[in-house]
Chain A
Amino acid sequence: MSWVSHDLEPYVIQRYMGKKIAFVPLLIGSYAPDLATKWVVYGTGAFGLKVAASDPARFHRGFPGAGFTHSPFFGVVVAGLIYLVTDNKLWALSFMVGQWAHAFTDTLDTLGVMLAFPFSTHIYSIGLWRYTAEAGRLGDAAAYFSGPGFVWDGFWLVLALLGWRVLTKAYFRDVVAPTDPFWGWAGRRLPETALLALYRTSYFFGIARGITWLLWVHVVNSYAFDVSWSGPHWIAGVRNEDLNHGPTSTRLLLLALAISFTCLLMYLRIGGHLSPRRLIRRRLEALETSAGGRADG
């Protein structure tokens, strides 16, 4: 899992997609997989009642459990439901893009996600940083901000800082607010300063808590940095092979690649960067140019 990327990715996607995305469902999509699972993974209690998964890793990412919430298929299903209920295609697609960003980001830890669910319950992982949710919130934070995970967050931090214009009042007025009916509804109840604070919350939350955890882990406490692959190695963590029934076969790999490629094509299509009309027009222009060149010659 990732601590800061899920907060910042929506702003980077917003910068790239502009008016082709609605920010609120994009953000909800980015948080959705963990909203449904994290509190059970870490365990929570109220009024003497304790709720915790007996096998947190399997519950979070595997099957049986709630691991399907981290599959791209879940994004498609919920997007379909959103479209049925709201009749708003932009809301549905924006949720789907946000959920996919979360799902693909989580393939990077040692546990990974069920990318090919429901076709397969195999868990795919790239294994860049250690999955350590079983260590509890503080232990998980200590491991994450000591290993390659925080480097990954640093990458998204740089992208988010480069896209700082999405935070400006002008961008909010011109691009974000007109695209999403939520802001019109909220604007009848709150002043613009409050709307801007809500719009900027995840950016603020991601950066401020990232700094807080880095200081807490390495200044208040003294956990050792280990940014080597699959690090940090001073904590056990969970790997996808602990839950899978076998290795990733060629068939399973091709299945995951096909799903990932389909998601990428759909994402580019939604962003208007893969418009069939535009591709045909470009092809025709190229043919006309080459024909004109031959005629001149």
Chain B
Amino acid sequence: MRELGTYAAAGVVYIAIGLMVPAFVLSWVVAAAYLLVAVWLVPAAFRRLAR
């Protein structure tokens, strides 16, 4: 459930950026990089800081 929440939050931010900068949502590569940052790197960084 927490994983779904992370993806949903990433989706909301992605949509918000896309509405401001439509070119952001045109590229699959950008989407993949964004998703890796949002659901892997950022949560991993938070976990490391919380330790």
Chain A residues proximal to chain B, CB less than 8 Å: 31, 137-138, 141, 191, 193-194, 197-198, 200-202, 204-205, 207-209, 211-213, 215-216, 220
Instruction: Note all chain B residues with C-beta closer than 8 A to A141.
Output: 22
Chain B residues proximal to chain A, CB less than 8 Å: 7, 10-11, 14-15, 18-19, 22, 25-26, 28, 31-32, 35-36, 39-40, 43-44
Contact pick for A208, options B18, B39, B40, B43, CB 8 Å: B18
Could you list 4 further interchain pairs (A-B, Cβ under 8 angstroms) beyond the known A198-B36, A207-B11, A215-B19?
A194-B36, A198-B32, A216-B19, A216-B22
Shortest Cβ-Cβ A-B pairs, 9 listed: A212-B18, A205-B31, A209-B25, A201-B32, A194-B40, A208-B11, A197-B35, A193-B40, A212-B15
**Provided the pairs A191-B40, A208-B18, A216-B18 are in contact, do residues A200 and B25 lie with their beta carbons within 8 angstroms?**
no
Instruction: Note all chain B residues with C-beta closer than 8 A to A201.
Output: 28, 31-32, 35
**Which residue of B has the minimal Cβ distance to A7?**
B28
**Which residue of B has the minimal Cβ distance to A38?**
B26
Instruction: Note all chain A residues with C-beta closer than 8 A to B18.
Output: 208-209, 212, 216
- Give Cα distance in the complex from A200 to B38, angstroms: 13
- Give Cα distance in the complex from A194 to B33, angstroms: 10
